[in-house]
């Protein structure tokens, strides 16, 4: 290897061949003659000879340097040496990579562990956010109401004299939405139609006004005195061109108006329109009332909402949830859905913790509706319904409580659950 570098970096040897031009013997004689006759020739002859020599040199082809065998061998040896060096470098790099495999495996394990921890933190943070937020019941998210700030006129010196919430119903409704007892709603944006404006020239405007006047016979009757009245009537016709019966009755002179019959027709149509709106409002109200009556039958989402009402401390919401479950328990499939959600246990807890007869009556009514299914009755027996029903005190005011108790205990006796307990 050192010899190769020494040959490459050392001084170049004397070349065996020297680049040059071959001169014939005849040309050499002429050159000798020119050198011998220095003073005989004229200046013109010398110039001509110089020009001929220059042209001859230009016409002669340039000879390329021939590559020797030694140079070719050097190039071949250099290429082989470079290939060997690259192969050695590849082997060294591969050996280093193999030696560093344990470190690479440790780094990959650390990255995987960090990713796993990051995913766990993300999941926990998401669960905490979902716990802090109100539950998602419908298609719309819960939007909190804006903060109510009293005006400068309402601010007084003491806190006792400050007015309370001005929109108490809205505040309570937002509270129900936040606790997941009512499905949140969103405001619907009304779409406004854009009017298409038409621009007329002054000549078209005047011709339009004259045509309107001739149509209604105002020129013949002499109702318009000057050009201003004509322009006013034309504007009215232009504004109400899509619905000409809505043109306001305007008398421009003391002459009898030809629009008296038209005004009467417009008044009658307005009255009919108002009656139509009244009938529509009555229909919407009845539809809303019927929809509220059949509201619990609108899917599993409303069923879960009815069960969630049993968790509320207020007995009014508990009674409404129990009444919804009683109306929902029509067939065995729906009764088993209530049992799967846990409605039977919640009803028993509600019945055991009830402090008034109305709440006991609503709970017993829902349990009686569930007891129509044998599988649901078995689930009630496993939940300890017999002992809870027997522990209810008798009520002299509410006869239906005793009726529901007797029917439930009879159902348990028919299926021989009371003897096994």
Q: State whether 271 and 311 are in the same domain.
A: no
Q: How many other C-beta atoms are found inside a 10 Å radius of the C-beta of residue 377?
A: 23
Report, as an integer, the average pLDDT of 359-367. Answer: 86
Judge whether residue 253 has pLDDT over 70. Answer: no
Judge whether residue 290 has pLDDT over 80. Answer: no
Domain residues for 412?
Answer: 298-420
Q: How confident is the model at residue 62 (pLDDT cuts 50, 70, 90)?
A: low
Q: State whether 309 and 206 are in the same domain.
A: no
Q: State whether 277 and 309 are in the same domain.
A: no
Q: State whether 324 and 243 are in the same domain.
A: no
Q: Is the pTM of this model over 0.95?
A: no
Q: How confident is the model at residue 76 (pLDDT cuts 50, 70, 90)?
A: very high
Q: Which of 25-39, 47-61, 357-371, 386-400 shows the highest mean pLDDT?
A: 357-371
Q: What is the count of structural domains for the chain?
A: 2
Residue 416 or 367, more confident:
367
* pLDDT for 258: 46
Single residue among 288, 321, 342 that ends a domain in this structure: 288
* pLDDT for 204: 60
Single residue among 225, 255, 288 that ends a domain in this structure: 288
């Amino acid at each position: 290897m050192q010899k190769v570098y020494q040959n490459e970096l050392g001084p170049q040897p004397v070349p065996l061949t020297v680049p040059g031009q071959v001169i014939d013997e005849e040309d050499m004689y002429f050159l000798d003659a020119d050198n011998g006759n220095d003073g005989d020739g004229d200046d013109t002859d010398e110039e001509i000879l110089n020009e001929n020599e220059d042209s001859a040199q230009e016409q002669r082809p340039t000879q390329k340097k021939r590559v020797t065998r030694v140079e070719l061998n050097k190039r071949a040896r250099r290429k082989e040496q470079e290939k060997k060096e690259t192969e050695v470098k590849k082997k060294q790099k591969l050996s280093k990579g193999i030696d560093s495999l344990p470190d690479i495996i440790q780094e990959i394990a650390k990255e995987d562990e960090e990713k796993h921890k990051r995913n766990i933190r993300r999941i926990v943070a998401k669960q905490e956010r979902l716990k802090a937020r109100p539950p998602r019941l419908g298609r719309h998210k819960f939007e909190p109401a804006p903060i109510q700030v009293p005006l400068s006129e309402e601010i007084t010196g003491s806190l006792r004299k400050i007015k309370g919430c001005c929109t108490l119903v809205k505040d309570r409704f937002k509270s129900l939405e936040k606790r997941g007892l009512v499905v949140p709603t969103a405001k619907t944006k009304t779409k406004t139609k854009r009017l298409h404006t038409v621009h007329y020239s002054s000549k078209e405007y005047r011709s339009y006004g004259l045509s309107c006047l001739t149509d209604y016979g105002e020129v013949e009757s002499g109702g318009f005195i000057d050009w201003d009245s004509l322009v006013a009537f034309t504007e009215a016709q232009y504004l109400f061109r899509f619905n000409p019966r809505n043109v306001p009755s305007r008398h421009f002179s003391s002459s009898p108006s030809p629009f008296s019959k038209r005004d009467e027709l417009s008044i009658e149509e307005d009255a009919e329109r108002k009656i139509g709106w009244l009938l529509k409002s009555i229909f919407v109200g009845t539809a809303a009332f019927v929809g509220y009556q059949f509201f619990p039958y609108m899917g599993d989402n409303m069923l879960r909402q009815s069960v969630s009402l049993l968790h509320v401390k207020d007995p009014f919401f508990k009674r409404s949830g129990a009444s919804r479950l009683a109306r929902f328990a029509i067939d065995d499939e729906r009764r088993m859905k209530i049992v799967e959600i846990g409605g039977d246990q919640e009803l028993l807890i509600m019945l055991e913790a009830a402090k008034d007869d109305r709440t006991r009556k609503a709970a017993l009514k829902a349990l009686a509706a569930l007891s129509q299914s044998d599988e649901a009755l078995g689930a009630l027996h496993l939940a300890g319904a017999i002992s809870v029903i027997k522990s209810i005190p008798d009520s002299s005011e509410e006869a239906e409580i005793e009726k529901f108790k007797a029917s439930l205990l009879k159902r348990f006796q028919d299926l021989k659950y009371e003897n096994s307990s």
